[in-house]
Amino acid sequence: MSFRAGQVLTDVEIGPVAHGGHFIARHDGMVIFVRGALTGERVDVRLTEVNRRFSRGVVTAVRTPSPDRIEPACPIADECGGCDFQHIAPAASRALKAQVVNEQVGHAISARFDGPLEEVTPAPFGWRTRMRYHVDADGRLGLSGHRSHQVVPLPPEGCRLAVPQIAHPEVPEVHSGQLLALVAVDEVVVADAEDAIGTVTERVGDREFQVGVDGFWQAHRGAPQALVSAVMDGLVPVTGEVAADLYCGVGLFAAFLADAGCRVLGIEGERAAVELARENVPGGQFLAGDVGVLVDRLPAHLDLVVLDPPRAGAGIDVLAAVMARQPRAIAYVACDPAALARDLKAAAAAGYHLDSLRGFDLFPMTHHIECVAILKPS
């Protein structure tokens, strides 16, 4: 049977969840990645992309619903590219994401992640402290559509994921077409994305951090504390140890390692973030540049390492350089379970085993997952 984009397939049985927020279906020999579905359902699917090896589609009608299906709270959930799991009960969503982590890690190193995926409050709505909106010529706010450049207008009640102050902010004069909105400790910033300059103060426990208005900081209000606690619990730093914080940003993990008495060296590719890290962690040393290049400038021996790479992961070369320094423990903070699994496999081949793995639901109502893996020498 030949397939084409726009075609509607009826009574399709939905199989397991796949990494990336889709569910797998097989229909007349074709593998289809379906958005808006749930395992065990029978649905009608409109094909949005047709390729030689697989197709993509979206649910147009649910014939046999899953008991975990709920009515999305947001009227644009089906169109917006943000909330691909808003049709799933929160507890079921966490179970599915734990299943994804287990599958990815299990294929790579034959380990099991039995969960649970840990909920971090606030959840499942009102958690996002940083938003980037599109602004049309009439000053109306919108968000990017799923896998498209289409802008979906924001509903009157605003984005349900955002903290209330920036769920539907007042729009200043915008010439770039994008609006940056964020809530920090004691201020709200709403500005043209091209004019978003300066810093804001963020707080984790008793620690304050200066963060660039347009720089990286975890979007979930509770994420920095949850990740710091997981990293510190896993590493158990001791006064006098030498630690490296790679992809260190503005020095989040470096600060707590320094407070624990460690001598800390951080490396980060964003020069502005490094300047702020030096301010946030006066006792640390920080280098600005590509981690893959500067990793060779680390001390010959390290006791502890934190890796918090971008979505693509750290990669085998960085891992090899880190493990050559024989740290007694490595904390790997990962936002993509597939990249994490690949790097865990490389670490295992170099003599470091997975000691513990925790998963955090820092992006409720979406398929995204944050993990903290602790690696130790075999």
Residue range 56-82, pLDDT digits in tens: 999 999 999 999 999 999 999 988 988
pLDDT at 146: 84
Per-residue tokens: 245: 């914080």
Mean per-residue pLDDT, 99-113:
94
- What's residue 137's pLDDT? 82
Top pLDDT among 227 and 176 is at: 227
Region of residue 225 (phi > 0: left; psi between -120 and 50: alpha; otherwise: beta): alpha
- What percent of the chain stands above pLDDT 90? 90
The pLDDT of residue 186: 86
Per-residue burial over 246-266, b = 16 or more CB atoms within 10 Å of its CB, e = otherwise: bbbbbbbbbbbbbbbebbbbb
Centre a 10 Å sphere on the Cβ of residue 139 and count the other Cβ atoms it contains. Answer: 12
In the predicted model, what is the mean pLDDT of residues 260-289?
Answer: 98
Q: Each residue of 25-38: pLDDT tens digit?
A: 999 989 999 999 99
Structure confidence at residue 134 (pLDDT) = 95
Mean predicted lDDT score pLDDT of the chain: 95
Task: Give, for 109, the enclosing helix (H) or strand (E).
Answer: helix 90-109
pLDDT of 11-20, one tens digit each?
999 999 999 9
- For residue 288, what are its two tokens? 């600005």
Strand partners, 204: 207
Residue 1 is predicted with a pLDDT of 63
pLDDT of residue 136: 87
Helix H or strand E segment including 178: strand 178-183
Span 346-374, pLDDT tens digits: 999 999 999 999 999 999 999 999 999 99
pLDDT value of position 3:
85
pLDDT value for 107:
92
Higher pLDDT pick, 195 / 229: 229
| Confidence tier at 114 by pLDDT (50, 70, 90) | confident
pLDDT of residue 81: 84
Sign of torsion over alpha carbons 231, 232, 235, 241: positive
| Residue 151 contacts residue 178 (beta carbons within 8 Å) | no
Cα distance between residue 118 and residue 239, in whole Å = 30
Q: Which of 80, 159, 262, 335 is catalytic?
A: 335
Smallest Cα–Cα separation from 342: which of 322, 367, 313? Answer: 313
Burial tier of 170 (Cβ tally within 10 Å: 0-12, 13-18, 19+)? exposed
SS3 content of the chain, % helix, strand, coil (to 5): 20, 35, 45
335 has catalytic annotation: yes
* pLDDT for residue 299 is more than 80: yes
Give the H/E segment covering residue 118.
strand 117-119
Higher pLDDT, 148 or 208: 208
Residue-level pLDDT at 183: 97
> What percentage of the chain exceeds 70 in pLDDT?
100
Global confidence as pTM: 0.95
